[in-house]
C-alpha cells in the first residue's frame, strides 16, 4: 500500500515532529510513504505532477493543522480520483470551513475524514485509516494482482484440495494467507 503524506513545509518544528512520527507509524505498519517533505525524490514522482501522484497512491494523509493552499487542491484531487483521504488536525485546531462544506456531500464524506488527534492517539487514528483503505470502507475486496509461479506438485495439491469445495485456488490461497496473518502475533501487535 502507498500513501501520500502532505504537510505544510513552513509549519512549526513541533508540528514537523508530529508529521515525522506519522511517517514512522505508517512505515512500521508496512505502508510505503511518499511525501512533499521528502528531501530526495527517490519515489519517481515529479514535483509538479500531483495528478500522476494520485494515480500511484492508495490514499492521502494531510496534516492540516498548519493550512496551506496546496492542501485544498490535493484533497480535491484525491476526491476526484476516489482516494480515501484523512485530514489530521492537532486537538484544538478548528476545521477549515471549506472542508465542512465538503463533508456535507455524500460521496466526499465517504472518502474524506477530518479528525483531531493528540500525540497519544495518532497511531490508533492512522491504523484505523489504513484499515479503511485496505477494506475499501467495507468488505475487503482483492484488488492487487500478484503472479505466483508454483510447481506441478503444488498445483496438483491445490486441484485436489479445492475439488468439491466450490472455491477457486486463488480464494483458497487467500484464506490460508489470512489465517497466517491472524496467527502472526508480531504483525498483529504492530
The verdict on residue 61 lying in a domain is yes
The answer as to whether 140 is a domain residue is no
145 domain residue, yes or no: no
Q: State the pLDDT at residue 37.
A: 85
Q: Is residue 29 part of a domain?
A: yes
> In the prediction, which pLDDT does 171 show?
85
> Nearest Cα to 21, choosing from 59, 13, 111?
13
DSSP state of 116: E
Give the span between the Cα atoms of 93 and 7, in whole angstroms: 15
Let me know whether 98 and 167 are in one domain: no
The neighbouring-strand residues paired with 3 are: 33, 59
Using DSSP bridges, classify how beta strands 59-63 and 32-35 pair: parallel, antiparallel or unpaired: unpaired
Do 171 and 89 belong together in one domain?
no
pLDDT at 55: 83
Torsion of CA 122, 132, 3, 121, to 10 degrees: 0
Sequence-separated (6 or more) residues with CB below 8 Å from residue 78: 54, 59, 60, 85, 111
Global pTM exceeds 0.85: no
Tell me: do 121 and 166 sit in the same domain.
no
3-state secondary structure of 72: helix
| Phi, psi values for residue 32, rounded to 5° | -85, 120
Q: Are residues 120 and 27 in the same domain?
A: yes
Identify the helix (H) or strand (E) that includes residue 7. strand 2-7
Is 141 part of any domain? Answer: no
pLDDT of residue 39: 61
- The whole domain housing 41 covers 2-135
Q: Are residues 101 and 156 in the same domain?
A: no
Could you tell me if 120 and 180 lie in one domain?
no
Q: What is the pLDDT along the chain (190 residues), one digit of tens a residue?
A: 899 999 998 888 888 899 999 999 999 998 999 988 876 444 444 444 555 778 889 999 999 998 888 888 999 999 999 899 999 999 988 888 888 888 888 888 888 999 999 999 999 999 999 988 887 755 556 667 888 899 988 988 888 888 877 788 888 898 899 899 888 988 877 6
Number of domains in the chain: 2
Domain assignment present for 92: yes
Residues 67 and 110 in one domain: yes
Q: Is residue 147 part of a domain?
A: no
Amino acid at each position: 500500500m502507498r500513501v501520500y503524506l502532505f504537510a505544510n513545509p513552513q509549519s512549526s518544528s513541533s508540528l514537523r515532529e508530529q508529521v515525522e512520527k506519522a511517517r514512522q507509524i505508517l512505515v512500521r505498519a508496512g505502508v510505503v510513504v511518499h511525501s512533499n517533505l521528502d528531501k530526495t525524490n527517490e519515489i519517481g514522482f515529479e514535483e509538479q505532477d500531483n495528478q500522476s501522484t494520485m494515480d500511484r497512491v492508495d490514499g492521502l494523509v494531510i496534516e492540516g493543522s498548519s493550512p496551506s493552499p496546496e492542501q485544498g487542491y490535493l484533497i480535491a484531487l484525491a476526491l476526484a480520483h476516489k482516494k480515501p483521504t484523512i485530514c489530521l488536525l492537532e486537538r484544538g485546531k478548528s476545521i477549515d470551513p471549506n472542508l465542512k462544506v465538503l463533508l456535507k456531500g455524500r460521496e466526499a464524506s465517504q472518502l474524506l475524514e477530518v479528525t483531531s488527534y493528540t500525540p497519544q492517539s495518532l497511531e490508533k487514528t492512522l491504523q484505523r485509516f489504513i484499515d479503511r483503505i485496505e477494506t475499501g470502507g467495507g468488505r475487503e475486496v482483492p484488488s492487487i494482482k500478484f503472479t505466483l509461479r508454483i510447481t506441478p506438485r503444488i498445483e496438483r495439491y491445490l486441484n485436489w484440495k479445492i475439488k468439491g469445495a466450490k472455491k477457486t485456488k486463488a480464494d483458497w490461497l487467500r484464506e490460508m494467507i489470512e489465517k497466517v496473518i491472524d496467527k502472526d502475533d508480531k504483525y498483529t501487535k504492530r
